[in-house]
Amino acid sequence: MTQARLKHFGWGREGETMTAEEERFALDKYRHRLGVDDFDEKRVPGLHELQLPAPRIAPPRSLAAFCSSELYDRALHTYGKSFPETVRGMLGDYANAPDVVAYPCNEAEVAAVLDWAGGVGAAVIPFGGGSSVVGGVEPRLDRARYRGTVTLDTSRMGRVIEVDRASRAARIEAGAFGPALENQLKPHGLTLRHFPQSFEYSTLGGWIATRSGGHFATLYTHIDDFVESIVVLTPKGRLETRRLPGSGAGPSPDRMFMGSEGIFGVITEAWMRLQDRPRFRAGGAVRFADFFAAARAVRAVGQAGLFPANCRVLDPEEALNTGAGDGRSAIMVLAFESGDHPVEAWMARALECCRDHGGTPETGEGDAHREGAAGRWRTAFIRMPYGRERAVPRAIINDTFETAITWDRFERFHDSVKAATLAAIETATGRPGQVTCRFTHVYPDGPAPYFTFHALGRHGGLIEQWQAIKNAASDALIAAGGTITHHHAVGRDHRPWYDRQRPELFAAALKAAKRALDPQGLLNPGVLIDP
């Protein structure tokens, strides 16, 4: 079955979009929330209306068969899926389009692209699914320094190469998209169970390069812990780490590449730790009078050593917006799963923790994961990324940012970040907006709060308005001790705050390592560090 190709603008494949009902639901909420009747809707130009700068470089004959400078390929690889990128896409601004898009099928072709780029002095942008919301894949760089830009798209390397059932591990090519990866593991009774919101349109290599946060709300939150070994192609050559269940031999080589966002090399494959497919489940939703009461329950569950697969909390407004609640209660979505044993004992103890903190479990039977408040939230979660391409043309400013903070600081942190963001919305747009919060992941020592904001902007000023709000929110969370990102990554957009967050001497060490592996500074320039 041939799938439609990815949309050059917006989420998913050509022909996919929100249903009319989803759009009506979302717009009604926006009308109510932002106090407007009608939206100033702008038309988004079609692919063939776009004017791209002429390519500055062309691949040699030996690479031409898997390279393209066609309009579609260059447009598709100009942007990730961030708010400002979507605005620029809507405005038809493709000035930063890559000159060439390479689709290598194997390591030799990846190495050949790196060699060619090194020879002509072109930058190389590794590209998985292109779902970055932090400017991680846009060729936004010094065009005087680089004689061209090659986007290296790994999507033709998507095979599960080898499965080790005894160790529950598989060797997987980095370009495997979520669904294709799971489909190849399914006959073996195995699953990676890493389901970021971008699951359908992101790749294993992208997950590793950005320290993606996945399905599990506790314990196995980041992709990091599933990586057994990796292969990276750098401009200086090939690097393969040893396949080990654990090691104490020096600093972990794998961990140096996790979160490296393509600045050291191209991840081409990895041995990944897998799970048995879950056979036992227990779960449901729990209501709380307010968000902080729910947070205290989450803390109790998180510190009890029960390790629920899901333990997400929505504040009342977020619960209302996603259809999971009525706006009067905070909702906890709680679930346990196992491929080995019934999990009722675990669920029972977690519910006790919730009751201790004033929680009221939602009654109901069946697969709680897919029904009730939990199920409604799950559907909204999966469909959410389709909203941006419909909101931006209506000048709706809607974005999310996520962080992590220890429990001792959480309440004050939450209030200060929310207040700063709300104030910035009012200043930037001249009218109140909305800021909601949920927890996406939970650690024994603190939560990962995820904020969503909604504002009404105006065409012509959307990027500046968004940037003002983004700056205020980011300043607030860095000032209050959080991280600039828990799982969206740094890219180009988070650089100013990442630079404040990370120790200066660590940046010096990263730069030195970068020079050792990529002496010409070709790879993803501007991401994480200046080349």
User: Taking contact as CB under 8 A, which single stretch among the options 7-15, 35-43, 208-216, 373-381 is the one that binds a second copy?
Assistant: 208-216
Question: Pick from 401, 313, 432: which is nearest to 32 by CA?
Answer: 432
Q: Does 498 bind a second copy (CB under 8 A)?
A: yes
* Element of type H or E holding 67: strand 67-68
Cβ count within 10 A of residue 505: 8
- Binding letters toward a second copy, positions 338-367, x by CB under 8 A: xxxx---x---x------------------
**Core vs surface per residue 180-191: b (16+ CB within 10 A) or e:** bbbebbeebebb
Looking up tokens 């650690």 gives 443
Tell me whether residue 356 or residue 464 sits nearer to a second copy (CB atom).
356
Q: Does 289 bind a second copy (CB under 8 A)?
A: no
Binder among 222, 390, 394, 492 for a second copy (CB under 8 A)? 222
Q: Does 419 bind a second copy (CB under 8 A)?
A: no
Q: What is the DSSP string of 358-415?
A: T-EEPP--S-TTTSHHHHHHHHHHHHGGGGHHHHGGGTEEEEEEE----GGGHHHHHH
Q: Does 215 bind a second copy (CB under 8 A)?
A: no
Q: How far is the CB of 454 from a second copy (least distance, A)?
A: 24
- Binding letters toward a second copy, positions 440-479, x by CB under 8 A: -x-xxxxxx-------------------------------
Contacts of 23 (CB under 8 A, 6+ apart): 390
Looking up tokens 């009067």 gives 328
Residues of this chain, 319-338, that bind a second copy according to CB under 8 A: 338
Q: Does 407 bind a second copy (CB under 8 A)?
A: yes
Looking up tokens 């729910």 gives 294
User: Residue 269 and residue 390: Cα distance in Å, rounded?
Assistant: 35
Tell me whether residue 27 or residue 217 sits nearer to a second copy (CB atom).
217
Q: Counting runs of H as helices and runs of E as strands, what totals does the chain give? A: 17, 18
Asked if residues 522 and 116 have their Cβ atoms less than 8 Å apart, the reply is: no
Binder among 95, 244, 382, 419 for a second copy (CB under 8 A)? 244
Binder among 146, 485, 493, 526 for a second copy (CB under 8 A)? 485
Q: How far is the CB of 253 from a second copy (least distance, A)?
A: 4
Tell me whether residue 36 or residue 239 sits nearer to a second copy (CB atom).
239
Binder among 181, 373, 405, 469 for a second copy (CB under 8 A)? 405
Beta bridge pairs of residue 149? 123
Q: Does 307 bind a second copy (CB under 8 A)?
A: yes
Asked if residues 98 and 74 have their Cβ atoms less than 8 Å apart, the reply is: yes
Contacts of 149 (CB under 8 A, 6+ apart): 96, 98, 99, 100, 122, 123, 124, 125, 139, 141
Tell me whether residue 406 or residue 427 sits nearer to a second copy (CB atom).
406
Q: Does 195 bind a second copy (CB under 8 A)?
A: no
Tell me whether residue 341 or residue 431 sits nearer to a second copy (CB atom).
341
Q: How far is the CB of 46 from a second copy (least distance, A)?
A: 35
Q: Does 127 bind a second copy (CB under 8 A)?
A: no
Binder among 28, 326, 516, 530 for a second copy (CB under 8 A)? 516
Contacts of 380 (CB under 8 A, 6+ apart): 322, 323, 324
Q: Does 81 bind a second copy (CB under 8 A)?
A: no
Q: How far is the CB of 167 from a second copy (least distance, A)?
A: 4
Exposure of 172 by Cβ count < 10 A (0-12 exposed, 13-18 middle, 19+ buried)? Answer: buried
Q: Does 208 bind a second copy (CB under 8 A)?
A: no
* Element of type H or E holding 273: strand 266-273
User: Taking contact as CB under 8 A, which single stretch among the options 57-65, 147-155, 211-219, 383-391 is the one that binds a second copy?
Assistant: 211-219
Q: 205: helix, coil or strand? A: helix
Q: Does 240 bind a second copy (CB under 8 A)?
A: yes
Q: Does 502 bind a second copy (CB under 8 A)?
A: yes
Residues of this chain, 246-285, that bind a second copy according to CB under 8 A: 246-253, 255-261, 264, 273, 276
Tell me whether residue 382 or residue 508 sits nearer to a second copy (CB atom).
508
Helix%, strand%, coil% for the chain, nearest 5? 35, 20, 40
Binder among 81, 299, 378, 390 for a second copy (CB under 8 A)? 299
Q: Does 415 bind a second copy (CB under 8 A)?
A: no
Tell me whether residue 33 or residue 299 sits nearer to a second copy (CB atom).
299
Query: Contacts with a second copy: how many residues (CB under 8 A)?
Result: 94
* CA atoms in the 13 A half-sphere facing the CB of 527: 29
Q: How far is the CB of 29 from a second copy (least distance, A)?
A: 29
Tell me whether residue 278 or residue 323 sits nearer to a second copy (CB atom).
278
User: Residue 106 and residue 112: Cα distance in Å, rounded?
Assistant: 10
Question: Pick from 183, 187, 186, 216: which is nearest to 200 by CA?
Answer: 183
Tell me whether residue 352 or residue 367 sits nearer to a second copy (CB atom).
352
Chain centroid offset of residue 391 CA: 19
User: Taking contact as CB under 8 A, which single stretch among the options 90-98, 284-292, 383-391, 503-511 is the one that binds a second copy?
Assistant: 503-511
Q: Does 508 bind a second copy (CB under 8 A)?
A: yes
